[in-house]
Chain A
Amino acid sequence: MNKFFAVTAAVSAVALLSVAPTMAQGKTLTISWWGFNGEKLESIILAPFRAQCGCEIVFETGNNGERLNKIQIRNGGGVDVAYFSDSYSQLGIEAGLFQKIDPAKLPNLAGAYDLAKDPQGGYGPAYSIGRVGIVYDSSKVSTPITSWNDLWREDLAASLTLPGITTTAGPMVVLKAGDHAEVDAFEDADAAFASVAALKPNVVKNYNTGSEMINLFSTGEVSAAVAQDFTLAQIQAAVPTAVWAELGEGAIATLNTVNIPTGAAEPELAYEFINFILSPEIQQQLAEQGVDAPVNTSVTLTPEQAALWTYGADVIAGLQRVDYVKLNAAKTGWIERWNEVFGM
């Protein structure tokens, strides 16, 4: 009898194992992401994940705002995994568009920096960490920039580009303007925007995309910028003397998160995918090939590879965090005030 049960159990197990890929086959995972680095992402992530899950993968591409709008219009449906920068994923969370994450279904999360594990109170983890800081052309800016307050220096007159208020990094300029005025921008927006107005003579143009900012550098229109570090390599390709400023107060952390929308048709497949992109092997490849900064603590990079990224425990520990709940609440009013400073 025992033999009978053993055979039955073995046959059942074989049957289940053979059915599992068949169940995944025919399933479709829909990913909402930016669409950059398509070829690299295909070879590093998509092809191996297709082989693992036996599923189809389709995409929705576009910038943060466009894609979040689409998910909102579909009331949280239409995609299974959504990539966003943290300011936008916070908006999605506040709009009830994303479901809470069960960490038990993401074993690879254990290897991530604490900052990346749960940045927004139970929703998607961060798969990449970046920073907002200052880039400047050392051949034109003779005195090195070492503080956020240096943005207001007179020698930077008509030579600075700021991120537009509608970009990820734009509102951070208001926070730093508040610091410059020695106030909390959330508490005293008047003083913060007086500082923004004082910065205006130094500003040539506010940019809305990374490529626009790189063009401003390469055409000689600007010699300094408040920028995200993922643009550094391209700026240096255009202007080899461009350097990342080591700021005494520290740079500001920007996290890119992955979330599962409330209306996801394949949530289990979404978990499998998120766990896959958090694995040490994938994180290592993404960092080595210049796609994304790693969040996995076991990733090891050469100094040349690491130069591009927010990498290493010390660097990550020195980052400043932004309270996006407060920021998003203040953002609409700030956009209005920013427009009045720069657009009147």
Chain B
Amino acid sequence: MKRYAGWTLALPATLLVVVFLVIPVLATIWTTFTTPAGPFATYTAFFGSGFRRTVLMRTIQISLATTAIAVVIGFLTAYVVSRSPGWLKSILIVAAVFPLLTGVVVRSFAWLIILGKNGILNSTLLNLGLIGEPMAMLYTPGAVIVAMVYLFVPLMILTLVGVLESIPDDLIQASASLGAKPVATFMQVTLPLAVPGLIVGAVLVFTGSFTSYATPQLLGGEQVMMMGTLMYQQAMVTFDWVAASTIAAVMVVITIAIVLVMTRLARRLNPMAV
């Protein structure tokens, strides 16, 4: 009986997840295989369209770039935070989490003010004499990436701070006492032990970027259309729910694939950690 106690306790939560999460997603995907044109017709149409392939590739590239930048910034910040004394650590964590207290639209909108032709950045560069006329920064993939990094770095920091704090100082000291230089200690001790946090953070950032709607819409528009905006267009404007479901299915599959790749990479870095 004891053998099944764990399963029994997990059953209610599992049922909730299956009923309210898994079944709706599967039902959505199922509709894409039951069209009169055949089971794979919607997928043939999706991948047969150069525009849709471009949007898919653009979404993957922007999400990967966002994740890579967020990993670097998040790791460095989390490392500093985790090594700071108690009072300073609290202040730094509050500062890192502070942007999360406002909505996605507001945070994206802030970048319209920063990156606009009359924005803070252009004004500063003009006043410093570094540019002769305002640069067009908005409505580019760069603007979308910058805004999404800003959106998701707090998640990466929060995930990594806990992991980096849990690495015992003894290990670092032991590494140094055995003659390892700081870079070697970082690469061979700290980084591998931070892999679980890196994976969780990277997955959160990637999936958040990959499925985002408001930021690409505000800072990219049609010129930088991503999968989320394309799906909205199909569902709410052309009322083509099967096409929208196909996009959702493609997004689910790509997300799972990317997560698996990340996990595999992480396992190479630290076979014990994942």
List A residues at the B interface (Cβ < 8 Å).
63, 65-66, 68-69, 72, 91, 158, 164-166, 204-208, 212, 215, 219-221, 331-332, 335-336, 338-340, 342-344
Contacts and interface: CB of A to CB of B under 8 A. Distances in A.
Given A206-B222, A343-B54, 17 more contacts: A65-B237, A65-B239, A166-B237, A204-B139, A206-B223, A207-B221, A208-B217, A219-B116, A221-B117, A332-B238, A335-B237, A338-B222, A340-B50, A340-B51, A342-B222, A343-B55, A344-B51
B78 interface: no
- Which one of A91, A164, A220, A339 has the highest number of Cβ atoms from chain B below 10 Å of its Cβ? A339
Contact of A339 (B222, B236, B240): B222
B118 interface: yes
A167 B51 CA distance: 20
B240 A215 contact: no
A172 to B, nearest CB: 15
Nearest to B139: A205
Contacts of B112: 215, 219
A238 to B, nearest CB: 12
The 3 closest A-B CB pairs, nearest first, are A65-B236, A166-B237, A343-B225
Interface string B195-237: 0000000000000000000000110011111000010010111
Given A65-B236, A205-B139, A339 B117 contact: no
Nearest to A208: B217
A336 B217 contact: no
Contacts, number: 73
A219 B222 contact: no
B24 interface: no
Contacts of A335: 233, 237-238
Contacts of A208: 217, 221
A260 to B, nearest CB: 21
Interface in B48-100: 49-51, 54-55
Contacts of A91: 239
A interface majority secondary structure = helix
Contacts of B117: 219-221
Contacts of A338: 222
A7 to B, nearest CB: 60
Interface string B105-139: 00000001100111100000000000000001011
Interface of B: 49-51, 54-55, 112-113, 116-119, 136, 138-139, 217-218, 221-225, 230, 233, 235-240
B223 A205 contact: yes
A335 B118 CA distance: 32
23 contacts: A65-B237, A69-B239, A72-B239, A164-B221, A165-B222, A166-B236, A204-B136, A204-B138, A204-B139, A205-B223, A206-B223, A208-B217, A212-B218, A331-B238, A335-B233, A335-B238, A336-B49, A338-B222, A339-B51, A343-B54, A343-B222, A343-B225, A344-B51
Most chain A beta-carbon neighbours within 10 Å: one of B54, B138, B223: B223
A52 B264 CA distance: 69
B54 A344 contact: yes
B225 A339 contact: yes
Contacts of B223: 205-206, 342-343
A29 B11 CA distance: 45
Which of B117, B118, B217 has most chain A Cβ within 10 Å? B117
Contacts of B138: 204-205, 221
Nearest to A219: B116
A72 to B, nearest CB: 7
A227 B26 CA distance: 42
Contacts of A158: 136
Contacts of B222: 164-165, 205-206, 338-339, 342-343
- Please indicate which of the listed interface residues B113, B238, B240 has the most CB atoms of chain A within 10 Å of its own CB: B238
B116 A220 contact: yes
A343 B218 CA distance: 15
Given A219-B116, A344-B51, A206 B239 contact: no
A96 B142 CA distance: 45
A335 to B, nearest CB: 6
Contacts of A221: 116-117, 138
A202 B230 CA distance: 24
A330 B138 CA distance: 31
A132 B39 CA distance: 43
A344 B230 CA distance: 13
Nearest to A335: B238
A212 B219 CA distance: 11
B79 to A, nearest CB: 37
A165 B223 CA distance: 12
B200 to A, nearest CB: 33
Contact of B233 (A72, A166, A220, A340): A166
Nearest to A332: B238
A220 B237 contact: no
Contacts of B136: 158, 204
